[in-house]
Structure 1
Amino acid sequence: MNLALRLRPFVLPALLLILWQLAAMQAAPADRMPVPADVLATGWTLIASGELPLALLQSLQRVMLGFATSAALALVLGTAMAAYRPVGRNLDPIIESFRPIAPIALLPLAILWFGTGTPAAAFIVGYAAFFPMIVNTIHGVRSIDPGLIRAARTLGVGRLTILRTVVLPGALPNLFVGARLALGVAWTSIIAAELAVGAKAGGGASGGIGQMMFVFYAYSVDLSGIIVCMIGVGVVALLIDRGVRALEYWMIPWKR
């Protein structure tokens, strides 16, 4: 019974692979539908050569740079907007005006301001990650029980101490929700940013996973390589999400 439960998550992927293989065998022309065996061989070649890990690592570095910058800014602004009504009234219209603008729409400005390197890609990523973080920060701070803050003030606790010991711990669940959403959006945005910006910074031979996908599409028409890149993007996204969940489990023991 335990073995069956452990194998259950692999049943659907196995069925999808079988359907993929059957569809590829019936497709015409055959070169428009890569078969799983070709994808596996291409993936092994890219991993063995180090090209795929290098591309994913460089994209991940840009994502972490943009996310860290936007998360720090969102934490400060979101806390101020939630704790002080005048700040919220003045900043909320500006933030809500920019939030519907897609990150890809800022690519021309990013290229003009930062060139075609890592800063431009990180700027796009940071813009995409900023709004999920600040919205969840505001909600997290405002959802704290006011009685806890009043109790701390009654005991003579200062504002900074209340912020550190009451407000931030109470808002942590929402902050982690915002972090998961922001990292997902950021990882999605890096593909478009690298495709359009053509980021070639970072000291390596690759411009990131988005640039690798563009090369496979524009120069070699390697569909198997594109599928491998897509699988790599999905695997990294899953690992990022699991890492955030593990950190949340460790930092918020009262949610267990």
Structure 2
Amino acid sequence: MNTAIARSSSRFAQFAQAGALPLVLLAAWQAWAMSLPANSPAPAPLKVVATGVDLIASGGLPNALMQSLGRVALGFLVALTLGVVLGVLMGSIRSVRDNLDPIIESFRPIAPMAILPIAILWFGTGTPSALAIVGYAAFFPVLVNTVHGVSRVDRKLVMAAQTMGIPRTTILTRVVLPGALPSILLGSRLAMGVAWTAIIAAELAVGAKSGGGGSGGIGQMMFVFYAYNIDLNAIVVCMIVVGLVALLIDRIFRAAEGRLLPWRH
């Protein structure tokens, strides 16, 4: 009983310590905002909360968020599939790696937003352009980490399986992929974070290129609030949502990693 109480007190103390600084900063922000003229467009915590409630109640924010999440999920799945397949080939077949590595390393440093003009020219200002940006951004973390994981699988295990006459596909699914799984999961987690960042930037840029009437999503919602409504409180709401979603995505991937790789935790 005493142990449970001590644990609860310790957790409460940790929570209070972690939340003290944010509360102080919010209070200082609110005090600064209250010192400004009543018609000032500067964002304030209370105004941000009220604006967030209105955006949620109207359905605009949830719809935009779901639209962005759908694009991220689809683009990430495409990048994950291509990255894992190509990564396994490059990691296990030296000739494939030697031929493709220079091409991959030539494109990898190019920022996703650098291909936006090409994406718009090829796919227009709708969802396909956003998906192209997301897929491009998420592909390289998955590929590089998959190649790294496959290349580090103990060759003795593969050779032992070959000696016993196990088919190559079985070796791939039972030896190579499980051995490379930690690296693949790490690459997937990094890729999802990059994909979420890329979709926001892509929607912002596509919205600007299309005059606000492009692909939608929370990124374009931010552009509309900036370019047309000049609503800084709404922009802050979108920024908070973007950050919270990124945190939630990271926690989901960490939980999945803990389930699939319990020996590493």
Match of 1:143 in 2: 152
User: Taking every aligned residue pair, what percent have the same amino acid on both sides?
Assistant: 61
Q: Secondary structure at the match of 1:198?
A: helix
> Structure 1 residue aligned with 2:85, among 54, 68, 76?
76
Measure the CA separation in 2 of the matches of 1:174 and 1:43.
Answer: 38
Measure the CA separation in 2 of the matches of 1:169 and 1:234.
Answer: 32
Deviation of 1:224 (Å): 0.1
Measure the CA separation in 1 of the matches of 2:53 and 2:23.
Answer: 19
| 1:178 partner letter | G
Deviation of 1:106 (Å): 0.8
Residues 206 and 212, structure 1, Cα contact 8 Å, conserved in 2: no
TM-score w.r.t. length of structure 1: 0.92
Match of 1:111 in 2: 120
Measure the CA separation in 1 of the matches of 2:230 and 2:249.
Answer: 30
Match of 2:243 in 1: 234
Q: Does residue 193 of structure 2 align to residue 191 of structure 1?
A: no
Q: How many residues align?
A: 251
Match of 1:58 in 2: 67
Deviation of 1:116 (Å): 1.1
Residues 41 and 231, structure 2, Cα contact 8 Å, conserved in 1: no
Q: Secondary structure at the match of 1:116?
A: coil
Measure the CA separation in 2 of the matches of 1:119 and 1:169.
Answer: 33
Deviation of 1:30 (Å): 6.9
Residues 62-105 of structure 1 show CA distances to partners (whole Å, capped at 9, x for unaligned) of 11111110110011111101100110000000000001111111
> Structure 2 residue aligned with 1:19, among 25, 28, 40?
28
Residues 71 and 129, structure 1, Cα contact 8 Å, conserved in 2: yes
Q: Does residue 258 of structure 2 align to residue 252 of structure 1?
A: no
Q: Does residue 109 of structure 2 align to residue 100 of structure 1?
A: yes
Match of 1:33 in 2: 42
Q: Secondary structure at the match of 2:40?
A: helix
> Structure 2 residue aligned with 1:152, among 161, 168, 173?
161
Match of 1:202 in 2: none
Match of 1:221 in 2: 230
Residues 75 and 132, structure 2, Cα contact 8 Å, conserved in 1: yes
Deviation of 1:197 (Å): 1.8
Measure the CA separation in 1 of the matches of 2:36 and 2:145.
Answer: 46
Residues 51 and 206, structure 1, Cα contact 8 Å, conserved in 2: no
Structure 2: stretches of 5+ with no match in the other structure: 1-8, 209-213
Match of 2:219 in 1: 210
Q: Please give the root-mean-square deviation of Cα atoms over the aligned residues, in Å.
A: 1.9
Residues 66 and 125, structure 1, Cα contact 8 Å, conserved in 2: yes
Residues 197-227 of structure 1 show CA distances to partners (whole Å, capped at 9, x for unaligned) of 239xxxxx98100110011001110000000
Residues 69 and 126, structure 1, Cα contact 8 Å, conserved in 2: yes
Bigger radius of gyration = 2
Deviates more, 1:144-153 or 1:221-230: 144-153
Measure the CA separation in 2 of the matches of 1:147 and 1:32.
Answer: 66
Measure the CA separation in 1 of the matches of 2:167 and 2:36.
Answer: 70
Q: Does residue 136 of structure 2 align to residue 127 of structure 1?
A: yes
